[in-house]
Amino acid sequence: MKKIRRLIVSFGSVVLLMATFTVRSDSSLERGDQLKAVYLFNFTKYIRWPDSSFESKSEKISICVDAPAVFREFLGEIINNKRVGKAQQLLEVVSLDVAVDCELIYLVKRDNKLPITLNNSVIVTDSGDNYFPENEIKFYILDKKLRFEIDLDKFKKKNITVSSELLKLAKIK
């Protein structure tokens, strides 16, 4: 009986301890879009652009986003002053409308007319219809979980390197 009482007390303590985890993210962005923003940031860690993409090592890696402002703001908070790669380059989020040069482009609209050249850009498109066939990465849903598909040939054509760690988790087209 003593043993059971001890167990109940221990379990109660653990439940109280766990109940302190109630702080929620106050972002109004839907969970799926939050996830995509985190994925975009993670992509920059595993992709290496050719040196010719950058005028200097200190140049930033630009993630150009064709998505509502709330998405850009959320992604901005994710990448906040973070550096990636061997050269420890800073990341920045730019609206595609005003972008000049982009390393990563995220497209969600169907009528995208890209205002920039695509030579060194990795294009990521949202899940759904394959409306932008030039994409290198495409999000899709598997069992309610977000996944991504990589077109390796397109990466090779642009001389952009993808880490084997990223390929391991991707569906290869």
Partner 1 sequence: MKSFKYIASFLFCSQCFAQSTPSELAEMSFDELFFIDSSPSASTSPWTLGYAYKFAEYKGYLDGDSSLSNDEVLWEPGNEPRTSDNFPVVPTVITQEVHTVSLAYDISPQWQVSLLVPYIRQETDHISIVGNYETFVIETDGLGDITTQATYRWNTGSSETWAIGFGLRLPTGSIDEEGDTPRAPGDQELPYAMQLGSGSYDFPLDVRYKLSGKHQITLGASANIRTGTNDRGYRLGNNYKLTSQYSTAVSQKVDVFGGLSLVYSDSIHGQDDALLIDSPFPYPASITNPDLYGGKKVNLNIGLLWEATSDFYLKLDINKPVYQYLNGPQPKENWTGAFSLTKKL
Residues that bind partner 1 (CB under 8 A): 3-4, 7, 11, 14-15, 17-18, 21-25, 27, 30-32, 34-35, 38-39, 41-42, 74, 77-80, 82, 141-149, 166, 168-171
Cβ closest to partner 1, residue 90 vs residue 116: 90
Compute the least distance from the CB of residue 79 to partner 1, in Å: 7
Cβ closest to partner 1, residue 118 vs residue 169: 169
Compute the least distance from the CB of residue 118 to partner 1, in Å: 25
Compute the least distance from the CB of residue 171 to partner 1, in Å: 4
- Chain-centroid distance of CA 52 in Å reads 23
- Three-state SS at 118: coil
Instruction: Tell the residue number behind the tokens 């301890």, with chain if given.
Output: 17
DSSP strand pairing (122-125 vs 137-142): parallel
CA atoms within 13 A on the CB side of 23: 1
